Amino acid sequence: MRNTRVASAVGLHVSILFEPVTLSTNNGGFTLRNRAVVAPMCQYSVDAEDGVPTDWHLSHLGALAAGGFGLVIAEASAVNPAGRISPRDTGLWNEDQQEAWSRIVDLVHANGAAAGLQLAHAGAKASTWPMLPDFGDGSVPLADGGWTTVSASVTDIFGYAENRELSAEEIDGIVQDWADAARRADSAGFDMIQIHAAHGYLLHQFLSPLVNRRTDEYGGSYENRTRLVKEVVAAVREVWPAEKVLGIRFSGTDWVDDGWTLRETVQLSRELREMGVITFDLSSSGIGPYRGPRTGPGYQTPLAAAVKEGLEGTDAFVTAVGGVTTGVQAEHILATGQADGVAIARAALVNPHWAAVAASELEVPRMENPRAQQLWRGRW
């Protein structure tokens, strides 16, 4: 790692994490003020159950932007009502939702960060109780406002309520929903969208043979299991402006040999880079019991490193996520070339000003600290 004291004495950039970075869009590039990204985090805070983000989302995401992050990615937001993880999820399938998001985007921008949104469909993991202390576990019964979920194939691997297999026609409809949501995200002012293909949700359910048992053109071979993701990317790319950033989040592996593998993730990442995907975020798991390494510091960083290596020679921006909690740790990941950026989730819940603290930890000069001016006099 660079010696930050020497670097600062000779006037060099003191930190890779806090150097601005230009992502390679088709139109001269899109610049982030630094490489610290807020990972998407469901807030389960839509009391009205209509998918419209609330004042909670405004204050939460606004604070993260004020806290100095370069890119704030808002939570998994459903492309249609059946795609919500819980009835209290946000969505982007109508005008009201678009308007509410637009207000949030304006605040994130005013506080100096780029605004991203994760677009999602939960498939067979939809219609569950929100992950909040006052709610139960498992599926919401139909009588309590739940709904019948859909997937690549009928599956009981999640232990949730009965689900059903999507027809080819319904799949076409979902691809269209993704494109419509992307168009709305553009109108709302988002700079970036991240397609959620991780954590055992719908796109991952198609990728993984642990769920996908189809015998049509969406199941079986690698080519068939990846077809839906590619259709979604192609449809979104058509409507999402070339000067904005298109990203994807993968579960890099199911951590079992007969599941979705890291080798396949690397191959698909290369193919999607060709199709115009710019950012790749590497999480893992979500189908079946967790069988990976201990979820300690940087536990998924090797997945990002493998994809970054596989994408070498392209101008992709690969982020590591999972157990990144300090500025020094993040700087180490970047300085050793394992990723191009870091995505922070739980540490940002604990401290929305995580990026400002990390900048201080890395001895970024006080006047260059990315936090909002109003926070300038804060001291550690």
Ligand X SMILES: Cc1cc2nc3c(=O)[nH]c(=O)nc-3n(C[C@H](O)[C@H](O)[C@H](O)COP(=O)(O)O)c2cc1C
Q: Which residue stretch of 6-14, 105-113, 179-187, 339-347 sits at the interface with ligand X (rule: CB under 6 A)?
A: 339-347
Q: Which stretch binds ligand X (CB under 6 A): 163-171, 194-202, 356-364, 370-378?
A: 194-202
Buried b or exposed e, range 340-357, using 16+ CB within 10 angstroms: bbbbbbebbeebbbbbbb
- Does the protein bind ligand X through residue 344 (CB under 6 A)? yes
Q: Which stretch binds ligand X (CB under 6 A): 167-175, 254-262, 268-276, 315-323?
A: 315-323
> Alpha-carbon Rg of the chain, whole angstroms?
20
State in angstroms the smallest separation of the CB of 344 from ligand X. 5
Using CB under 6 A, which of the segments 52-60, 177-185, 310-318, 321-329 binds ligand X?
321-329
Task: Please report how many Cα atoms fall inside a 13 Å half-sphere around the Cα of residue 233, on the Cβ side.
Answer: 25
| Residue pair 113/70 in contact by the 8 Å Cβ criterion | yes
Looking at beta carbons only, is 4 or 269 nearer to ligand X?
A: 269
Q: Decide if residue 302 touches ligand X (CB under 6 A).
A: no
Looking at the Cβ atoms of 7 and 58, the one nearer to ligand X is 58
Q: Given the DSSP bridges, would you call strands 30-32 and 21-23 parallel, antiparallel or unpaired?
A: antiparallel
Q: Looking at 12-20, 148-156, 343-351, 370-378, which segment touches ligand X (CB under 6 A)?
A: 343-351
- Which of 125, 184, 196, 244 lies at the binding interface for ligand X (CB under 6 A)? 196
Pick the catalytic residue: 44, 160, 201, 218?
A: 201
Cβ neighbours of residue 259 closer than 8 Å, sequence gap 6 or more: 208, 209, 210, 253, 287, 288
Report in angstroms how near the CB of residue 165 gets to ligand X at its nearest.
24
Angle of the 227-239 helix axis to the 262-274 helix axis, nearest 10? 30
Contact of 304 with 319, CB cutoff 8 Å: yes
Tell whether residue 37 is a contact of ligand X (CB under 6 A): no
Contact call for residue 118 and ligand X (CB under 6 A): yes
Of these, 220, 323, 332, 363, which contacts ligand X (CB under 6 A)? 323
Alpha-carbon distances, residue 192 vs 3, 139, 244 (angstroms) = 33, 31, 6
Q: Does 291 bind ligand X (CB under 6 A)?
A: no
Phi-psi region of 123 (alpha: psi -120 to 50; beta: other; left: phi over 0): left
Give CA–CA dist 162/246, Å, rounded. 34
Instruction: Compute how many residues bind ligand X; rule: CB under 6 A.
Output: 20
Q: How far is the CB of 76 from ligand X (least distance, A)?
A: 3
Pick out residues in 199-258 that bind ligand X (CB under 6 A): 199, 249
- Contact segment (CB under 6 A) with ligand X among 35-43, 51-59, 227-235, 352-360 equals 35-43
Q: Which residue's CB is nearer to ligand X, number 199 or number 308?
A: 199
Q: In one letter, which amino acid is 16?
A: I
179: which 2 tokens? 């494109």
201 is catalytic: yes
**Minimum distance, C-beta of residue 379 to ligand X, in the bound complex (Å):** 26
**Closest to 101 in 3D by CA, of 89, 91, 114:** 91
Return the residues of window 121-180 that contact ligand X according to CB under 6 A: none
Q: Does 39 bind ligand X (CB under 6 A)?
A: yes
How many DSSP H helices and E strands does the chain contain? 12, 12
Angle (CA) 303-304-307 rounded to 5° is: 90
Comparing CB distances to ligand X, the nearer of 14 and 124 is 124
Q: What is the 3-state secondary structure (H, E, C) of 196-255?
A: EECCCCHHHHHHCCCCCCCCCCCCCCHHHHCHHHHHHHHHHHHHCCCCCEEEEEEECCCC
Q: Alpha-carbon torsion 103, 105, 108, 109, what sign? A: negative
User: Least distance to ligand X from the beta carbon of 131, Å?
Assistant: 7
Instruction: Show contacts with ligand X in window 41-80 (CB under 6 A).
Output: 41-42, 75-76
Least separation in angstroms between CB 178 and ligand X: 16
Beta carbon of residue 40, minimum distance to ligand X (angstroms, whole number)? 4
Tell me if 346 contacts ligand X by CB under 6 A. Answer: yes
What residues are labeled active site? Answer: 201
Residues at the interface with ligand X (CB under 6 A) = 39-42, 75-76, 118, 196, 198-199, 249, 283, 321-324, 344-347
